[in-house]
Amino acid sequence: VVELKLPAAISEKTERIWTLYEEYIKLESFKMPLRTTYILILGFITLVMVFAGVWIAMRLSRGITTPIRKLAEATEKIGHGDLTVQVEEKSEDEIGLLINSFNSMVLQLRQNREQLDRAFSDLQTRELYLRTILQNINSGVLYLNTRGRIQHMNKKACAILNVRMEDVEQKTYQELIQDLGAHELTELANTLMHGRLPDINQELKVNIRGNVLMLRVFVTAIRDPETAAVIGILIVFDDLTEIIKAQKAIAWQEVARRITHEIKNPLTPIKLSAERLMKKWQNRDADFDAVFERSTRTIITEVESLRHLVDVFTRYGKLPEIKRAPAEIGELIESVIALFRSFKELTLETDIADGLPAVPLDREQYKRVLVNIMDNAARAMKNRGVIRVTARVEDNSLVVAIADSGPGIPDHQKEQLFLPYFSQRKGGTGLGLAISDKIIKEHGGRILVSDNTPTGSVFTVIVPLQAELPVLQEATAHAAAPPPR
């Protein structure tokens, strides 16, 4: 045995190493339990973190899916017509913005539906109101769609045409005309068929299944206010048959009264002359030859007066047929004005619009009307005063106005001006304005009378620019026709 004494420093270090080794051996026995513990702790922490992550994810997903689910449920309710639904959401993120927009949209939809409901209710009320009016007005109303099929006809229209609504509904207007046998409406139908849709205002003499009626027909196109496209045609017509019969009867009473008056005037001197001749002849008076000459001259004069009266009456009843041709209105008016320039104390003024179109009319007959009106105006002013003639186009018609500064026409006489044998002037035949009125009516126009300012009268002659449809006008005071029996 060899003993070696080591230095104290080494001995201390050796003891320390041995002590540490013994501690290591002790700790070695704790290695597996510690590892297991660490693994368990780490696993627990991992599970906690996973659970926390899942919980957080579920919370986050619920914050997205719940509002979306509510939106889906609200959308389904809206699809079933419930516009009172509102989705509650207090978040201020993108989902909240989406829900707020959705709620605003639903509110606007609800307001729009309320407005539509009110508008629909108003429309129903108006439709009921219009239907009530249409069914009770004294005019026939016919409405056609764009294909020319009858959509509506009121009771008065059915009564005038002697048809039933259920028999003509959805028929075309051509089929209706064929059923009625009203061939006079063929040209009107052709106008509608070819798409020419001006406003038409005509008086038509129509034979409906053997029953002759005088109808005033107004046709206008109903247009879309935004596109101006034609969406329907409105036809309004009135039965003037009985009215015209009554007017003709009144006119004939006036004509008979005026003719009786005119005939009595020459008959009295004729009778007196004949009685004087008989008396002188019976008494064999010496002055018989002179009385015979004077009496026969008186009789011949008065008979000529009667013949002239008959000629004028015949001329009124047999006016020449209207022959239309394009006429230059400015030149025609100037030719009429020229006839009155010889009156030195008569001031003639004209105001003729530029660019007036050529108007289809009978030049000579139209000129005759203007001359007659101006002659009456000059005579009323005793050939001194102012006559102003204006011409313009208005509402697709030529409007010529002749204004004078004379004494004017009393209101109670204006309605009688165009009756045969009515005259304000002593010695006048009373046929001038009656003939003028008849000529203009055959042109499809009319003559209006109004007061001038400050004094005088205005005669306005209106003639349509287009002559597509003939005017089948029966004058209310047609003295040439046989009197009603």
Of residues 390 and 312, more confidence is placed in 390
> Does residue 392 have a pLDDT over 90?
yes
Phi/psi of residue 402, nearest 5 degrees? -120, 110
Phi/psi of residue 327, nearest 5 degrees? -125, 140
| Residue that has been written with the tokens 């606007």 in this structure | 108
Mean pLDDT of 118-141: 84
> Does residue 27 have a pLDDT over 90?
no
pLDDT for residue 214: 85
> Does residue 400 have a pLDDT over 90?
yes
Average model confidence (pLDDT) for the chain? 80
Mean pLDDT of 320-335: 87
pLDDT for residue 484: 37
Task: Give the Å distances, CA to CA, from 6 to 13, 14, 19, 34.
Answer: 11, 10, 18, 39
List 212's β-bridge partners, or say none. Answer: 207
Which range of 161-165, 218-222, 329-333, 481-485 scores highest in mean pLDDT? It is 329-333
Lowest mean per-residue pLDDT among 35-39, 253-257, 415-419, 443-447: 253-257
pLDDT for residue 480: 37
Of residues 162 and 39, more confidence is placed in 39
Helical packing angle, 31-79 and 94-136, nearest 10°: 10
Of residues 431 and 464, more confidence is placed in 464
pLDDT tens figures, 442-479? 888 999 999 998 889 999 999 998 754 333 333 333 33
Q: For residue 149, give the nearest of 235, 225, 215, 217 by alpha carbon.
A: 235
Share of the chain above pLDDT 70, in %: 85
> Does residue 265 have a pLDDT over 50?
yes
pLDDT tens figures, 196-255? 555 777 787 887 776 788 888 888 888 888 887 878 888 888 888 888 778 777 777 766
Residue 423: other Cβ atoms inside 10 A? 19
DSSP assignment of 316-381 equals HHTPPPP--EEE-HHHHHHHHHHTTTT-TTEEEEEEE-TTPPPEEE-HHHHHHHHHHHHHHHHHHT
> Does residue 481 have a pLDDT over 50?
no
> Does residue 134 have a pLDDT over 90?
no
pLDDT tens figures, 298-309? 888 888 877 877
Lowest mean per-residue pLDDT among 66-75, 105-114, 428-437: 428-437
> Does residue 416 have a pLDDT over 80?
no
Mean pLDDT of 108-135: 86
Three-state secondary structure string covering 209-222: CCEEEEEEEEEEEE
Lowest mean per-residue pLDDT among 249-253, 362-366, 393-397, 436-440: 249-253
Mean pLDDT of 312-336: 79
Of residues 450 and 288, more confidence is placed in 450
pLDDT for residue 485: 33
Helical packing angle, 173-180 and 186-193, nearest 10°: 170
Instruction: At 287, list the tokens.
Output: 């002055």
pLDDT for residue 83: 82
